[in-house]
């Protein structure tokens, strides 16, 4: 086993969950190595160990033949390792320039050199082909541009080893092509690139080799992408031959339950019409900025409609806020789940029960924590999720 970056026998165990089990993996200089697998396969956990965010329960990491032990993310950065997570690590209240150089702001006599900061940020944004004012507050940017800033942060570290975790999940086609050009340029410079994606077309377009993870184990490494096809990778991911990857079966459809007529609002320029029947799954797709998320926000009451109507079971409903939507049985899994879908500083139990806690209140003021925890445990069982520690927060 050789390679500039080597994982030798890496295992990681959380309470009740074996996240990684004896991983041996090697990646060469000047190559792009893909990691694929279903959710919970262990890909992101491996990257967190590489970044110093987690320490392995067992095993070692070698860089250029020397064993390294990262006790923190700073020690990983000092070894020229950068990991770009799907969950962005930006400070929303700070501007773009400050986020790009966070942790290594240019200073003189204890004061930040604003002109130097702005100059460096402007050059980095230009290299990313992003037309963003360095003084813009990050929270005012769309998620796609925030993703590019996260990438710019890593590149400014002059990293030798760079890992990308689902980097195109929020990018437009133009921005995805910009990212691919950057990744290929880093490969030419001799960098070690690890690329995690659920999109196999990206893996085939970009990667030289790929490793398949399943249930915390490394199932197979294909050393040459020219000798592998889509079906071979999918078979290793799910553990069986696949004829229909989604296992689709036709289902009986009932009456129309949701109908939208001539709906317009923020981000929706032309009236939208659609209906959904009981037992039907209706998909929406399009590029970033096409209006998919904006439409869902209007239906959920996060944005106010400008015109049009929403009908449930044949009756018009007026949804002014998410509270109204919940009363009608409408829920939303948002695009930016870390920012809008969960409360990351609270534990698993509280996040699961956040919208129904009123049902576990006794005498109007006391929370029945036993019933609340039981509700969380029952839901996790129904969803067949590996049971987490309900007191775990974002560190897991």
Q: What is the pLDDT of residue 391?
A: 64
User: Which pair of structure tokens corresponds to residue 150?
Assistant: 């996260």
Which stretches does DSSP call E strand in 268-338? 268-277, 307-312, 315-317
289 with 335: CB under 8 angstroms? Answer: no
Among the listed residues 45, 68, 83, 77, the one whose alpha carbon sits nearest the alpha carbon of residue 162: 83
Q: Is 79 exposed, middle or buried (0-12, 13-18, 19+ CB in 10 A)?
A: middle
Q: Indicate whether 388 pLDDT > 60.
A: no
Q: What does the pLDDT look like over 183-221, one tens digit per residue?
A: 998 899 999 999 999 899 999 999 999 999 999 999 999
Among the listed residues 344, 339, 342, 285, the one whose alpha carbon sits nearest the alpha carbon of residue 141: 339
Distance of alpha carbon 161 from alpha carbon 192, whole angstroms: 5
**CA distance readout (Å), 31 to 71, 190, 220, 221, 222:** 27, 7, 18, 14, 13
Q: Is 96 exposed, middle or buried (0-12, 13-18, 19+ CB in 10 A)?
A: buried
Distance of alpha carbon 47 from alpha carbon 83, whole angstroms: 7
Q: What does the pLDDT look like over 256-270, one tens digit per residue?
A: 999 999 999 998 989
Residues 6+ apart with CB under 8 A from 381: 387
- 158 versus 20: the higher-pLDDT residue is 20
With tokens 């695009």, the residue in question is 335
Helices 143-156, 114-127: inter-axial angle, 10-degree rounding: 110
95 phi and psi, to 5 degrees? Answer: -85, 175
Q: Indicate whether 56 pLDDT > 80.
A: yes
105 with 112: CB under 8 angstroms? Answer: yes
Longest dimension (CA), the chain: 72
Domains of the chain, residue spans: 5-238, 252-341, 342-396
- What percentage of the chain carries pLDDT values higher than 70? 94
137 with 94: CB under 8 angstroms? Answer: yes
Question: Are the folds of 5-238 and 252-341 the same?
Answer: yes
Across the chain, mean pLDDT equals 87
Distance of alpha carbon 98 from alpha carbon 106, whole angstroms: 10
Alpha helices in 95-227 (DSSP H): 96-100, 114-127, 143-156, 173-188, 200-206
276 with 257: CB under 8 angstroms? Answer: yes
Angle, CA 271 vertex, CA 267 and CA 276 arms, to 5°? 100
Distance of alpha carbon 132 from alpha carbon 118, whole angstroms: 12
Distance of alpha carbon 281 from alpha carbon 86, whole angstroms: 26
Question: What is the DSSP secondary-structure string of 256-286?
Answer: EEEEEEEEEETTEEEEEEEEEETT-------
Q: What does the pLDDT look like over 137-196, one tens digit per residue?
A: 998 888 778 888 888 888 888 889 999 998 887 777 888 888 898 899 889 999 999 999
Q: What does the pLDDT look like over 103-122, one tens digit per residue?
A: 888 888 888 898 999 899 98
Which 3 state secondary structure label does DSSP give 213?
strand
Q: What does the pLDDT look like over 324-362, one tens digit per residue?
A: 998 899 999 887 777 788 888 888 888 888 888 888 888
Residues 6+ apart with CB under 8 A from 49: 10, 12, 20, 55, 56, 61, 70
Among the listed residues 184, 200, 299, 272, the one whose alpha carbon sits nearest the alpha carbon of residue 242: 200
- Decide yes or no: CATH 3.10.150.10 for domain 5-238: no
Q: Which of 23-32, 95-104, 220-229 has the lowest mean pLDDT?
A: 95-104
The CATH code that applies to domain 252-341 is 3.40.50.300
Distance of alpha carbon 182 from alpha carbon 194, whole angstroms: 14
The band of 242, judged by pLDDT with boundaries at 50, 70 and 90, is low
Mean pLDDT in residue range 299-326: 93
Distance of alpha carbon 351 from alpha carbon 345, whole angstroms: 10
């Amino acid at each position: 086993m050789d390679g500039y970056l080597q994982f030798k026998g890496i295992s990681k165990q959380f309470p009740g969950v074996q996240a990684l089990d004896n991983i041996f993996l090697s990646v060469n200089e000047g190559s792009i190595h893909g990691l694929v697998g279903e959710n919970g396969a262990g890909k992101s956990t491996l990257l967190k160990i590489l970044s110093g965010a987690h320490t392995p329960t067992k095993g070692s990491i070698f860089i250029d033949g020397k064993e390294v032990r990262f006790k923190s993310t700073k020690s990983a950065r000092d070894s020229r390792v950068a990991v770009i997570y799907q969950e962005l690590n930006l400070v929303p209240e700070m501007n773009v320039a400050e986020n790009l150089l966070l942790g290594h702001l240019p200073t003189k006599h204890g004061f930040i050199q604003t002109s130097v900061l702005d100059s460096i940020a402007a050059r980095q944004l230009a290299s990313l082909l992003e037309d963003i004012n360095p003084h813009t507050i990050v929270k005012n940017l769309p998620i796609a541009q925030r993703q590019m800033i996260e990438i710019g942060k890593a590149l400014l570290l002059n990293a030798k080893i760079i890992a990308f975790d689902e980097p195109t999940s929020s990018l437009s086609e133009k921005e995805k092509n910009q990212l691919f050009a950057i990744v290929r340029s880093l490969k030419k410079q001799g960098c070690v690139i690890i690329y995690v994606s659920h999109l196999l077309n990206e893996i085939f377009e970009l990667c030289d080799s790929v490793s398949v993870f399943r249930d915390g184990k490394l199932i197979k490494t294909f050393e040459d992408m020219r000798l592998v096809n889509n079906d071979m990778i999918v078979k290793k991911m799910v553990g069986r031959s696949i004829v229909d990857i989604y296992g689709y079966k036709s289902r009986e459809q009932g009456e129309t339950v949701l109908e939208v007529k001539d709906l317009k609002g923020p981000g929706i320029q032309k009236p939208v019409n659609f209906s959904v029947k009981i037992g039907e799954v209706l998909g929406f797709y399009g590029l970033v900025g096409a209006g998919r998320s904006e439409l869902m926000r209007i239906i959920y009451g996060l944005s106010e409609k400008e015109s049009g109507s929403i009908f449930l079971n044949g009756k018009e409903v007026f949804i002014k806020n998410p509270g109204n939507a919940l009363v009608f049985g409408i829920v939303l899994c948002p695009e930016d789940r870390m920012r809008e879908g969960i409360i990351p500083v609270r534990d698993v139990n509280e996040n699961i029960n956040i919208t129904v806690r009123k049902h576990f209140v006794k005498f109007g003021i006391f929370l029945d924590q036993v019933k609340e925890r039981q509700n969380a445990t029952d839901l996790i069982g129904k969803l067949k999720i590996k049971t987490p520690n309900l007191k775990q927060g974002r560190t897991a």
